[in-house]
Amino acid sequence: MKDTDTGNLGEKMSDLNIVTDFYSLNVSDGATMQTYVAHPDDDATQPGVIVIQEAFGVNVHIRNVADRLAQQGYVAIAPEIFHRTAEPGFEGSYTDFAGVMPHMQSVTHKGAEMDLRAAHEWLKSKSYVDGSRIAAIGFCMGGRLAFLANSCLPLCAAISFYGGNIPTLLDRVAGLHAPMLFFWGELDKHIGLDQRQQVLQAMKTSGKQYTNVEFSDADHGFFCDVRAAYQPQAARLAWKLSLEFLAMHMGGDATR
């Protein structure tokens, strides 16, 4: 892929060619989970990133995030967290939240941990992945699960985009392995100021390293360019900060 502008994302792509595919992973409870994987098409050993879906599945938006990370030199894996209740390849509609609610409500901490461990182990098993440099990034439901992943996996970094209900996980703060980067939209009625303050206070009290970014003119889902809430300026800055954060804590070139 040549160094070209991607349009309203305002992003320059590297000259890395990437490979994408779907893989089935065995989860420790006996389930089989489909994943989407994107990685640079070269022989270099690269850091890994677990990309965690929104409530709408591993859809074009989540696959695009994985592709963009691969173009920056990361091996990205996006597990289908709804595999216990939905068919492989499930994608919900952004205009039908009721349709994805049963799947989202079926996700348990225990099940999600097993899924995230399976993705983490898959990355570690690959010769082209540096198993000592793995991070997680998640959106909405996945933002919450990125926090969960940081509590149960030896990550180097974790990024949470507008993760809801993180206060229900605050008993895990002391066990966080890596620095956290939080993104929020101040117009987000789903995640109020009280929730955000609870999370940040818990991080401070536990002495955990974190970076907190709030966009005053952004709503829930502002990073997703196929949602009505897409805010291109906030999305562009958040992406740049995310790449810098990953490079800072995992090594690598965030300027690609």
* Catalytic positions: 140, 188, 220
Tally helices (H) and strands (E) across the chain. 6, 8
User: CA–CA separation, 167 vs 70, rounded Å?
Assistant: 32
* β-bridge mates for residue 36, sequence order: 22, 78
Is residue 176 within 8 A of residue 151, CB to CB? The reply is yes
Classified as helix, coil or strand, 253 is coil
Rounded Cα gap, residues 178 and 180, in angstroms:
6
Distance between CA 62 and CA 84 in Å, rounded? Answer: 19
Residue 202 DSSP symbol: H
Task: Report the alpha-carbon distance of residue 235 to residue 224 in Å, rounded.
Answer: 8
Report the distance separating Cα 190 and Cα 105, nearest Å.
Answer: 16
The span from the CA of 144 to the CA of 169, in Å, is: 8
Query: At what angle are helices 141-152 and 109-125 packed, to 10 degrees?
Result: 70
* Token digits of residue 160: 């949470």
What is the H or E stretch that residue 146 is in? Answer: helix 141-152
Distance of CA 110 to the CA centre of its chain: 18
